[in-house]
Amino acid sequence: MTDELLGDEQLTGQVIGTYVSDPVTGFGVIELELDTGDGARCVGPLASLVEGDAVRVVGRWTSHPRYGPTFEALLYEHLVPSTAEGLASFLAGERFAGVPELARARVLTTFGAGTGRVLDHQPERLTEEAGLAAADAAELLRAWAGGRALADLVRLVAPVRWPRDVVTSVHARFGPEAAALARTDPYVLLEADRARFAHVDALARHLGVDASDPARLAAGARAAVDAARQRDGHEHLLRHAAVDAASQLLGVDRILAAEGLERAVATGTLVSEDLSGEEVVTTPAARRSEVRLAADLQRVATASPTRLAHLAEGLELSGELTDGQRAAVLAAVRSPLSVLTGGPGTGKTRTVEELVRHAEEADHAVALCAPTGRAAKRLEELVGRPATTVHRLLEARPDGEGGFVFRYGRTEQVPFDLVIVDEVSMCDTWLAAQLVAAVEDGAHLVLVGDPDQLPSVGPGDVLRDIVAAGVVEVTALTEIHRQAAGSRIVSLAREVLSGSIGALAAVDGDVFVAEEGDRRRIVPRVVQAVAERVPAHLGIDPGDVQVLAPVYRGPAGVDALNAGLKAALNPGDGRNEVAGFHVGDRVLQTRNDPELDVANGDVGTVVDLDRRRGELRVAFPRGEVTVDRRAAANLTAAWAVTVHKSQGGEWPVVILVVDRSHRGMLWRNLVYTGITRARQALIVVGQVEALRGAARQDRPRDRRTGLEHRLRELAATAPTPS
């Protein structure tokens, strides 16, 4: 039998077993006893089903490599019995265990075979006629609706073909109310984590919402600003740019787009302000983060007295330090807020080590942190002191809604006299705001980073803005140390920054060039280098090689590289897997997960798995964690990663892919970031001319942010110390 709407097969029967039930993702595995007496193993959005449920399941038959014939469900719906006897059995099931037996009996006695109709259309009669207590009636209705909510939502969105992860995200966020909200106020569904404007708008238009509907225009304006922030890293848009973006997203003229923008501002989903003489538009949360970050940076910078100032007198620094390093240490103890910048080989880490040593000798409490576990682990190894992620320092914990909250912030601050943050260029505005808010008055905050690297993946340009504002003491290290002076990796990085790359031989010190003009040959050459040439000629294991590329797609992109490297280094070959991963796979975390204490950008290796439980055991830089099927949705292959995702990391060998087809992403700071990830050897695969072209392309500082302006404004209006 097939479903009339979806055109898929359908099964009817009773649930006689539940094997997997994930309430977060909605994924479930059940055993169904069919009306014919046969059994069927069903998988899909079935987590809310319990034993005894009579259901109709819509989907298609597939063949599982281990379990054989398996019915992959798209949706299900309950088959409510039509007789009083059937209803009595149904209401006695596990789903209604929270409803007192006496209350269920009253409902059946009062309404008999019409119970289902009352529950669906006349719920007020439960209290008025059956005499149920309000709490019992509410629990009965919740249980009745809960079993049908996901199926109702799936059926509602089926004509516009929502992806499964969007359906489960909306269901997880809104529960039984999701389908009703979709019909009455569809754009509120944008609050769900995975829902995008294209998904929600397609549904709204299908349900009859007009293109010029004010609610649609306002939602589109907000979505356009959100998209610019997430895609391009802006903290705000100029008003005319926001109107243009909204017009394009909504497919309407600028007049209607402007009306939508004004409505969004009037209703508070967007905010507008004058910044440096320009009218800008952003989200309330984005503006709040930037304003608070500026205010807290000013608070830390002007606090008095400070806890390390006494160290400045008679400070005996190591004779190994350069003048720049000495100046940086003195700045850090004299000023409660200071910045230390420099490229590879300039001695930032040695400077931090010296500062920490003096602070600890004076019995000051010191915290070292970085935005990702990988960067924190590297900092810990280089400085020889414990380091942690920013999230762990602030004690992030899940908030119960898929996000997280921090223990430490403005109301309870971290108990340290000196807080040192490495790789600050990776911190977006929001994370930086959370961190600086948690620093006590009088404590010293040292921000360390390389402003020539790529800015953060998230919105903002924090390190560059702080340096450019000119209101904080900044020490820029430029002198290359002797141990790094002979490195071609270091000199190549400096040449890239200068905009002109000198002669580059096939074998040039610790830099190797594999010239390849045919992009279809790039993946095979990279695979050969990782699997054969690097181990044979450099004596380095493939696990210590990281492949980087500017883009995901295309014959020389990250996706193609991952497929080729996986096939060569760790083929599946019918082995057990969970969420598509096998033991030995290298994986990348794509979202912060405070519950697991892993950060966006952390790279790990699958060391074990439990197929029956749907769990992976992954070794990340900070230790091993167990990842369930829900959390595995935030993992992706990491044999190759984008240069953006490599920030904060360093590997013995880096293979950097540069091809003419990547020209839209080949900018000076991108290739500089990729080059400086290599510790012992850099292998460039592609065309040297593409690398030279990238060095010439000094991408304008095109992120629109307001932190620099806000810092200058606060400094100009700050009271003069007496």
List pLDDT tens digits, range 348-378: 999 999 999 999 999 999 999 999 888 888 8
Q: Which residue has the tokens 């005996």?
A: 316
CATH number, residue 260: 1.10.10.2220
Nearest CA among 573, 548, 543 for reference residue 685 = 548
Domain identity same for 509 and 597: yes
Nearest CA among 498, 444, 441, 451 for reference residue 475 = 451
Instruction: Quote the DSSP letter at residue 8.
Output: -
Instruction: Report whether pLDDT(7) > 50.
Output: no
Give, in order, the Cα–Cα distances in Å from 503 to each of 399, 494, 511. Answer: 54, 14, 12
Domain identity same for 651 and 553: yes
**Is 235:253 a contact under the CB 8 Å cutoff?**
no
Angle between helices 323-334 and 348-361 (to 10 degrees): 40
Output the six-digit token pair for 113: 């075979």
Output the six-digit token pair for 590: 């794509």
Domain identity same for 352 and 391: yes
Q: Does residue 707 form part of some domain?
A: no
The pLDDT > 70 percentage for the chain reads 94
Q: Does residue 344 form part of some domain?
A: yes
Judged by average pLDDT, the poorest of 38-47, 394-403, 444-453, 574-583 is: 394-403
Domain identity same for 219 and 142: no
Q: Give the model confidence (pLDDT) of 197-219 as tens digits.
A: 999 999 999 999 999 999 999 99
Q: Does residue 195 form part of some domain?
A: no
CA geometry: angle 467, 472, 478, nearest 5 deg:
55
Domain identity same for 555 and 642: yes
Domain identity same for 536 and 628: yes
Q: Is 392 helix (H, G, I), strand (E, B) or coil?
A: helix
Q: Is 552 helix (H, G, I), strand (E, B) or coil?
A: coil
Q: Residue 572: what pLDDT?
A: 84
Cβ contacts of residue 249 below 8 Å, gap of 6+?
Answer: 197, 220, 223, 224, 227
Domain identity same for 328 and 375: yes
Among residues 417, 450, 477, the one where a domain terminates is: 477
Residue 647: phi and psi, rounded to 5, are -55, 140
Q: Which run of H or E residues covers position 89?
A: helix 84-91
The pLDDT > 90 percentage for the chain reads 58
Nearest CA among 519, 607, 527 for reference residue 562 = 527
Output the six-digit token pair for 512: 């190797």
Domain identity same for 656 and 526: yes
**Is 391:592 a contact under the CB 8 Å cutoff?**
yes
Extended strands (E) in 430-503: 444-449, 473-477
Distance CA 157, CA 671 (A): 43
| Max Cα-Cα span within the chain | 92
When divided into structural domains, the chain yields a total of 5
Q: Does residue 676 form part of some domain?
A: yes
Q: Residue 578: what pLDDT?
A: 85
Q: Give the model confidence (pLDDT) of 613-654 as tens digits.
A: 888 999 987 789 999 877 888 899 999 999 999 988 889 999
Q: Does residue 156 form part of some domain?
A: no
Domain identity same for 360 and 249: no
Strands 237-238 and 68-78: unpaired
Nearest CA among 231, 255, 238, 637 for reference residue 459 = 231
Q: Does residue 6 form part of some domain?
A: no
Extended strands (E) in 65-145: 68-78
Domain span at residue 261 reads 210-282
Q: Calculate the CA 546 to chain-centre distance.
A: 21
Instruction: Report whether pLDDT(6) > 60.
Output: no
Cβ contacts of residue 371 below 8 Å, gap of 6+?
Answer: 389, 390, 423, 426, 427, 431, 599, 601, 648
Q: Does residue 675 form part of some domain?
A: yes
Selected residue with higher pLDDT from 171 and 298: 298
Domain identity same for 43 and 114: no
Q: Is 370 helix (H, G, I), strand (E, B) or coil?
A: strand
Tell me the Ramachandran region of residue 8: left when phi exceeds 0, alpha when psi lies from -120 to 50, beta otherwise.
beta
Judged by average pLDDT, the poorest of 71-75, 306-310, 455-459 is: 71-75
